[in-house]
Amino acid sequence: MSNRQAEIAAALDVVPPFADDDALVTEVERRKAFIKQCLQNSGLKVLVLGISGGVDSLTAGRLAQLSVEELRRDTGDNAYRFIAVRLPHGTQHDEQDAQDSLKFIRADEEDTVNIAGSVTGLGEQVTHLQKLSDTRRDFVTGNIKARIRMVAQFAIANANNGLVIGTDHAAEAVMGFFTKFGDGACDLAPLSGLVKGQVRAIANYLGAPESLVFKVPTADLEELRPGKPDEEAHGVSYSEIDAFLHGLAVREEAYTIIVRAFDATRHKRELPLAP
């Protein structure tokens, strides 16, 4: 392990590889305990999370549902509940995956907020967008989508006196692969420190369908490239990112890409600058 690998892994509180099945189960229980403690410390009883159809929101959503069920059982308070929210932009090309995720999660409540109107309305008012090339405007609009989704989730949480769950984990955090104040904005992030393979392992342990556990990850924010794979955007595979974070040797090119991404996106992982 290089000094930079060790430094970055420590900064992101990366969880070591699971030694065996017992270690995986222990980590699942630790994550549920964290979710329950966050609710109890806040004095609130509702959790909210957008479900995209990917393994990250599927895993966080199922952990959230299990956590509130345990709180209801242990406290006798049936006010604890989880709201799973679909946040499509128009018609989502992999909507069936999102619906299959909802079936697996079995949330106490499901809701849908189509963000297309809000994104279009805002885009029409921001004249600076009209000056951009089609490709650049599509990218900026993708970040608008992520931030509108954040607004919708917090609105639902506010209306129900609840907390918003985020799905960021170490393999995304190291690449800065989230929208600042968009999907990076939340009250609690129960997948923090896990690499992508560990998220998949937890989803598999929880009984998620293999088609969702091993689905090609995509942020799906660009209209010109719907379903664009995360790994294409990264320029490096998740298996290499995971290996890097766990201190294993990776290709020199992959090492350079990951370190450069971590350094360039540092601002996303820190509080706003202040004098």
The answer to whether 53 is a known ligand-binding residue is yes
The answer to whether 220 is a known ligand-binding residue is no
The answer to whether 59 is a known ligand-binding residue is no
CB atoms closer than 10 angstroms to residue 84:
27
The DSSP output letter for 6 is H
The answer to whether 51 is a known ligand-binding residue is yes
Q: What gap in Å lies between CA 48 and CA 42, rounded to an integer?
A: 14
The answer to whether 50 is a known ligand-binding residue is yes
Q: Are 85 and 115 in contact (CB under 8 A)?
A: no
The answer to whether 54 is a known ligand-binding residue is yes
Q: What gap in Å lies between CA 198 and CA 58, rounded to an integer?
A: 13
The answer to whether 52 is a known ligand-binding residue is yes
The answer to whether 45 is a known ligand-binding residue is no
The answer to whether 26 is a known ligand-binding residue is no
Among 97, 100, 172, 230, the one annotated catalytic: 172
The answer to whether 167 is a known ligand-binding residue is yes
Q: What gap in Å lies between CA 40 and CA 28, rounded to an integer?
A: 19
Q: Are 112 and 138 in contact (CB under 8 A)?
A: no
Among 56, 108, 240, 242, the one annotated catalytic: 56
Longest alpha-carbon distance in the chain: 57
Q: Are 57 and 167 in contact (CB under 8 A)?
A: yes
Instruction: Determine the length of the chain.
Output: 275
**Annotation marks residue 124 as catalytic:** no
**Annotation marks residue 172 as catalytic:** yes
Look up residue 223 and give its two tokens: 């209209």
Look up residue 46 and give its two tokens: 């509702």
The answer to whether 55 is a known ligand-binding residue is yes
CB atoms closer than 10 angstroms to residue 100:
18
Residue numbering of the annotated binding site for deamido-NAD(+) = 147, 180, 187, 267-268
Residue numbering of the annotated binding site for Mg(2+) = 56, 172
> Catalytic residue positions?
56, 172
Residue numbering of the annotated binding site = 50-57, 147, 167, 172, 180, 187, 196, 218, 267-268
Residue numbering of the annotated binding site for ATP = 50-57, 167, 196, 218
